[in-house]
Amino acid sequence: MLRFFFKKEHQLETLIYSYLENLESVHSHFVKGLNLCLDAGACDDFTFIANQTHKFESKADDIREEINQLMYSKALIPESREDITGLLEAIDQIPRYFELILNMIQTQKLVIPEFLVADIKELIRVSIESCSLMIKQVDIMLQKKEGIRALMATIDQNESHCDHIERRMITRIFDSDLDPFQKLQLKEMVVVLGEISDEADRVSKRINIITMKRRV
């Protein structure tokens, strides 16, 4: 029975790592798609990358469902199952923001003004850095190592920096001579972009809580 338990636990960790690897693929395709929009405008490649991002996001859902099925076949004690389920649900919000942003650009045919390009690139750079640090936190948690709080502090700093960039962009949008409707469209996009770092920060704090619970 003990051997069966550890086998299940190993399968669970393997699935979680597969989920995180897929998440990094979503990150990569999202950045490629957004950079195409910022550097060259919408094009055929942008549509392809947006579709690829959706494909990886759907795969993440499939892996998460497989993880849930395994956990509820006695791979973990009930309290741990609740922690992992809640953690993955929170992480899963991030690729959904990626897909939402690309869909907004594609379906609303958004044109990004030149005065926003540098700030958007900086916002994305810092947000993706936070996502990568968050993935590292999950690895540290699974390996039962130290370093989660240090990463949490960096992610928190990144979130504050992203908030500053977001406010600056919204101010610039409404100070500009753009069409009022375009201003609202761009503001909505910027707010969703800001949610990426916010969610990474929320997940980071959740990971820290899970780790502290294990030490009690």
Helices (H) and strands (E) in the chain, counts: 7, 0
Structural domain spans, the chain: 2-215
Mean pLDDT, residues 146-152 taken together: 95
The pTM is what? 0.86
Contacts of 39 (CB under 8 A, 6+ apart): none
Percent of the chain beyond pLDDT 90?
44
Residue 151 CB: number of other CB atoms within 10 A? 20
- List, as one string, the DSSP characters of 60-91: HHHHHHHHHHHIIIIIS-HHHHHHHHHHHHHH
Domain made up of 2-215: CATH architecture: Up-down Bundle (1.20)
Gap between the Cα atoms of 20 and 138, Å rounded = 9
Gap between the Cα atoms of 16 and 201, Å rounded = 20
pLDDT in tens, 40-68: 755 556 676 667 676 777 777 788 888 87
Q: How confident is the model at residue 105 (pLDDT cuts 50, 70, 90)?
A: confident
Q: What is the pLDDT of residue 2?
A: 32
* Residue 19 · residue 63 · CB < 8 Å: yes
pLDDT in tens, 10-27: 778 888 898 898 888 888
pLDDT in tens, 170-193: 999 999 999 999 999 999 999 999
Closest-CA residue to 206 (of 95, 129, 124, 94) = 94
The lowest-confidence range among 91-95, 193-197, 202-206 is 91-95
Mean pLDDT, residues 31-43 taken together: 75
